[in-house]
Amino acid sequence: EDSTGLRLAESLGCRALILTARTATEAVVELLDSGADDVLCKPFGLEELAARCRALLRRTNSLKERVSVGPLDVHLLLRRVTLRDQPVELSPREFALLCALLTPPGVTRSRQELLRMAWPPHSGGPRSVDTQVLTLRRKLEQAGLGGESGVIQTVRQQGYRFSLDGLNRQAMETSLRKSGAAAGS
């Protein structure tokens, strides 16, 4: 089914060129509205397929390679996370979950949205999101990001969000500690 490919592309964070036998305009519009970057109806020529792939690659290369939120850097292409230039070891699922929470930061995502964005189809339930969020929080806290309020917040009966408030509060506290230490010397 076409939507399975779209979910897979979304979970991997990549572009989706859908090859389909569905030629009705409504079907093509539905696929594009569902997240496909391009739709190519069968039959098609190899030259056209190659040209559409090149066009997608041009658009992909223009995407952001890195997302920075305060001291946290997420290198999307390298699939690497650093905090104050120190590596943070995350599993592939934790990395996908962090990316889902950071796009964009501050937006509350339901468990179902996070499942759709960070898990392969039919591979987990809402409780697996809770477990992975807990693990991700712990790893970020161990790396030095989080503190009392945490940067990944639970929004009651709604889901989770990456909190810029928690990040800004932590940055301010760190700055105050540094200036206090400098004043005491």
Domains of the chain listed by start with CATH number: 2-58 (3.40.50.2300), 66-172 (1.10.10.10)
pLDDT tens by residue, the chain, 185 residues? 555 666 666 655 667 788 888 888 888 888 887 778 888 899 888 888 888 888 877 766 555 677 888 888 898 878 899 998 899 999 999 999 998 898 777 889 999 889 888 887 777 788 899 999 999 999 999 988 876 567 899 999 999 999 877 565 555 454 444 545 555 54
Percent of the chain with pLDDT over 90: 23
Which pLDDT score is estimated for 9? 64
Q: Residue 162: which H helix or E strand, with range?
A: strand 159-162
Determine the Cα–Cα distance for residues 151 and 145; give it in Å rounded to an integer. 7
Strand partners, 66: 75
Determine the Cα–Cα distance for residues 84 and 69; give it in Å rounded to an integer. 11
